[in-house]
């Protein structure tokens, strides 16, 4: 009888551990209204407003989405810290650039690089951009500065 309880107890521990691992290590999808739900006129308004504020790739069609759940986005990525519900996420995949834009305020909230996972399972979810800045390394020989 003790053997049966030990087996049941072991199975329960394995199941709970697997559930915890699955929860914390599976990618989370973000709350966006996709481009399919936006009218072409809305997308054009966003791109034209954005074009007045920043140089955009010309030969690339962007992915445009409305941010719906800013609290969950901010908790997962600080990139969205100053954004609000109703702002737009514009992603240029070939240029690897993501832009958070407020059409209401005509203001760019944030710009950053974006990385796409090549894994087929995760291609349906939009990878969240991570803001990174690296100092440019300059060759000492190419820079000469006279100090007086």
Read off the pLDDT of each residue in 71-99 and give the average, rounded to a whole number.
92
Check whether 45 has a pLDDT greater than 60. yes
| Banded pLDDT at 11 (limits 50, 70, 90) | confident
Quote the pLDDT of residue 2: 79
Check whether 123 has a pLDDT greater than 60. no
The alpha carbons of the chain give a radius of gyration, in whole angstroms, of 23
Check whether 138 has a pLDDT greater than 90. no
Quote the pLDDT of residue 117: 67
**Structural domains for the chain:** 31-116 (3.10.450)
Per-residue pLDDT of 14-25, as tens digits, reads: 877 777 766 666
The rounded distance, in Å, linking the Cα atoms of 72 and 138 is 39
Q: What is the DSSP string of 33-85?
A: E-GGGS-HHHHHHHHHHHHTTS---SS-PPEEEEE--HHHHHHH-GGGTT--T
């Amino acid at each position: 009888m003790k053997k049966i309880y030990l087996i049941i107890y072991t199975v329960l521990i394995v199941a709970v551990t697997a559930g915890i691992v699955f929860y914390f290590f599976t990618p989370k999808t973000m709350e966006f209204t996709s481009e399919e739900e936006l009218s072409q006129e809305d997308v054009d308004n966003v791109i034209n407003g954005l074009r007045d504020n920043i140089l955009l790739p010309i030969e690339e069609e962007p992915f445009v989405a409305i941010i719906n759940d800013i609290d969950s986005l901010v908790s997962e990525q600080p990139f969205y810290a100053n954004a609000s519900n109703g702002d737009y996420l514009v992603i240029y995949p070939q240029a690897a650039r993501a832009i958070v834009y407020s059409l209401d305020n005509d203001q760019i909230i944030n710009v950053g690089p974006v990385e796409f996972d090549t894994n087929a399972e995760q291609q349906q979810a939009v990878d969240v951009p991570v803001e990174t800045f690296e100092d440019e390394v300059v060759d000492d020989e190419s820079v000469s500065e006279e100090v007086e």
